[in-house]
Amino acid sequence: MQFIRPDINIDFLGKRKIAASISGLLILLTFALLIIRGGPNYGVDFTGGVLIQVKFDRPTTPDQIREALKDVDLGDSIIQEFGEKGSNEYLIRVRKVNVELAGLDEKVKESLAAKFGEGVEIRRVEMVGPKVGKDLRQKALFAIFYAILFIAVYISGRFELKWLMSIVMALSLSVVVYFASSFGLSVTWLIVIALVVTLGLCWALKLRYALGAIFALIHDVTITLGAFAVTDREISLAIIAAFLTIVGYSLNDTIVVFDRIRENLRRFRRRPLQEVMNRSINETLSRTLLTSLTTLIVVVSLFLLGGGVIHDFAFAMMVGVVVGTYSSIFVASPILLLWEKGGREGSKK
């Protein structure tokens, strides 16, 4: 099925500087927001504490709820509206880790009922210890990093038949991470160092397709994280699952484009590189947009109709699908062009 004519010829790579400016601005805004707010807004899964979901039978406000919770020493809790607007449902996040969980739901219900009446329903109470939260945060960060690393290994073998080089890169990176960890660095800094080393090794070992794919994946995860920072949404285990899904989705799009580029580079050896790459992107455009639109319809439906529990996951997927489609065309492909254009005569800027 095609809804875009086969002979379409959009100069995507001719607009790469504009795209780079937009991407750079969004990434800088993400970093600025994270610095201002002291890092991502981690949920109870990663920070430890207690999560209470409560529903009222009439409208109320976070300030009123906070006032009522002072009787049980929870007046400094973080309170956010949950679910659809007007559902009168709230999440109460308690950062304290020394709270006694036994009977906490009854104490909270009694305290709220004393102020709001009997129309108060405690829907769930969850507690995560600080050590468990820290371990989960570390494992989540490493999960995203190792996903990107193994993708680099796969791309290098799949498109360039450099399995040995990619294995050398993975082993070298393991040594660097082990050496850096001996200095007692935090997991966040270890991941940053590892990503920089990964990109450097891709450049040094001439793994050009892997370099483009990794840049695109880092771009997608960073901008999705920025969307969460702008909307003040929490990063939970479900959101880490969404990030990993976004990595897989974006990679799928990038592989389709790269596969056609590689095929056309063999067919049109005498043509300018930029022309061949633009032709490849245009040839896969119909497939890319069909896949993205059908996926977007599903995640938008989940976002609007799926309820509060899946709301943030669907939001992450919405942003990820849009950004992943964009990066396959305007991030991964231009990186490949920058690498190759100096080595081919007749390439155009």
The pTM of this model reads 0.80
| Residue 305, amino acid | L
Alpha-carbon span 30 to 35, nearest angstrom = 9
Average pLDDT over residues 275-294: 89
- The confidence score (pLDDT) of residue 323 equals 95
- To which H or E segment does residue 3 belong? none
Structure tokens at 160: 């360039």
Alpha-carbon span 259 to 21, nearest angstrom = 26
Q: Is 56 left (phi over 0), alpha (psi -120 to 50) or beta?
A: beta
Say if residues 285 and 260 touch (Cβ distance below 8 Å): no
CATH fold group of domain 13-42+132-343:
Multidrug efflux transporter AcrB transmembrane fold (1.20.1640)
CATH numeric code, 49-128: 3.30.70.3400
Tokens 């483009």 sit at which residue? 212
pLDDT digits (tens, 9 = 90+) for 305-349: 877 778 889 999 999 999 999 999 999 999 888 876 644 444 444
| Shared fold status for 13-42+132-343 and 49-128 | no
**81: helix, strand or coil:** strand
> Would you list the DSSP string of 149-166?
HHHHHHHHHHHH--HHHH
pLDDT digits (tens, 9 = 90+) for 18-71: 999 999 999 999 999 988 888 788 877 777 777 788 888 888 888 888 888 777
Give the sheet arrangement for strand 78-81, strand by strand. Answer: 78-81, 89-94, 49-56, 120-128
Structure tokens at 287: 């497939």
pLDDT digits (tens, 9 = 90+) for 206-249: 888 888 888 898 899 999 999 999 988 888 888 888 998 998 88
Residue ranges of domains in the chain: 13-42+132-343, 49-128
